[in-house]
Structure formats: structure tokens, C-alpha cells
Structure 1
Amino acid sequence: MKFLLNLYLNAADPPGQGSDHEDFLAAAGQAGELISAHAFADPSISAAIRVRRGVVTVTDGPYLQTSDHVACQYVVDCESRERAVELATLLSSGQTCGVEVRPLMDSAGMEM
């Protein structure tokens, strides 16, 4: 099963590339579970697009008005949700606000 791991950080903190990432990359990489990894640019240079009653609005900045933002994401292919959660705990340093583990689905709505 494939899972998306979203790593949330506080906007005031610099992006983390410390031992938590190294431990995760080593564990998931050696097990052949890491599919891809992406770090995101600062949320202040993003755009949020909303459609309300057919009217499209584009605003600068992050989607949510919060100090936490998605800073990085990993796609892993694991035997179980429990294994994906185990890998996600390797990313839970003191700097991390949280890690979200979500199953990925194909276009037919089936878990991948």
C-alpha cells in the first residue's frame, strides 16, 4: 500500500534536514519503501485558488491562515498502515509540528 507522509513545520522554523530525515531516509530507503520525496518552497510564495459560486479567486500565500505548513512530503510503499506510521515516527523531531499519514488512492478510489 502506498502512503503519503506530509511533514508539518512551524513557518518560523527553518526547514529541517537533520538526523530525523537521515534516519527516515535510511530506514525507508534500505527497505525499498521510499518512492519519492519532495521539499516545498516557503509557503509565502504559494498561491491559493478557491472557487465559490462559480467565481475563481487567487490569493498569494499559504492556503490556511496558520503558522504551521506542509514543508515536505514523502511517498512510501509499505505492507501496512502500521509500518507507514512507524516510518513517520522517525520524522517526529522537536522541530516537527506533526506528520500526517494518508493512504493514496488511484483514480477509481481504490487504495494503491
Structure 2
Amino acid sequence: MNYLLSVINDESVQLSDAEFQEMLARTGAINDEMKEQGVWVFAGGLRPPETATVVRARDGAVTTTDGPFVETKEHLAGFWVIEVADLDAALAWAEKATTACRAPIEVRPFDGLA
């Protein structure tokens, strides 16, 4: 089953350059371990929310607006898509991921359409 491990960034928590480099190294190690274990499907980091564009259909009209969908200090910063046997296995990877990137990880299963 495929799971999305979402990295939730809190903008009020600022890392020093050294802390950021350490986080990147730890996250890279998790990526390598996922690949070695055969659970890696793909992953990616996202640009800051202010780079987002929201496309919305309403009453037959489509509009685009700059900026994030919602104004908040927390936002999706990156993700992994993994393929594991069950939720327990996904949660085990999420434990490693939250430790590596020092951010909360939301775990959600795909609905089978992936």
C-alpha cells in the first residue's frame, strides 16, 4: 500500500545554517535507507508557500490567485511517497522521518488510485 508522509514546516521555528545542513544530511540518510529497503516510490521538497498559485473553479469561472491556499505559519514543506505493507510500517518510517527533519510528519494512505 502507498502512503504519503507529509513534512509539516512551522515557520516560527528557524534553523541555523548548521542545523539546516544537519537536517539535510539526516534526511538524505533516510532517503538512502528507504531506497535500500525498497519502500521508496518518490519524494520531494516544496518551495515556500508564497511561491504557490491557487487555481479555483467557482460558479463556472476559473480564477488564479498568488500565494498559499490558506494563510498559516504551518505548511507542507515536502513529502515522501512510500510503498509498505501496512500503517504500522508507514508509522515506523514516519518516526525516522520526524527525527531526521525535526518536523511533524502526517501519514496518510492513498485511496488505491495511485
TM bracket, shorter-chain basis: 0.7 to 0.9
Greater helix content: 2
Candidates 78, 87, 107, aligned match of 1:101: 107
Match status 1:41 vs 2:47? yes
CA 1:11/1:18 → structure 2, altered by over 3 Å: closer, same or farther?
Answer: farther
1:38–1:74 contact (8 Å) kept in structure 2? yes
User: Which deviations, in whole Å up to 9, do the C-alpha atoms of 1:70-97 show, x marking residues without a partner?
Assistant: 111111010111111110111224841x
Distance 2:29 2:91 in 1: 14
Matches within 5 A, 1:3-82: 3-12=3-12, 13=14, 16-19=23-26, 21-82=27-88
**1:90 is paired with a residue of what secondary structure?**
helix
CA distance in 1, matches of 2:60, 2:112: 27
* Secondary structure, aligned partner of 2:68: coil
Structure 1 portions without partners, runs of 5+: none
Q: Percent identity?
A: 24
Deviation for aligned residue 1:18? 4.3
The residue identity in structure 2 corresponding to 1:43 is P
| RMSD (Å) for aligned C-alpha atoms | 2.2
Question: How many residues in Structure 1 have an aligned counterpart in Structure 2?
Answer: 106
* Unmatched segments (≥5 aa) in structure 2: none
After TM superposition, the score normalised by the length of structure 1 is: 0.79
TM-score by length of 2: 0.78
* 2-structure distance, mates of 1:84, 1:23: 17
Q: Residue by residue, what CA displacement relative to the aligned partner does 1:51-106 show, whole Å, maximum 9, x if unpaired? A: 2222322111111211111111111010111111110111224841x211111234
For residues 95 and 33 of structure 1, the distance between their equivalents in structure 2, rounded to whole angstroms, comes to: 21
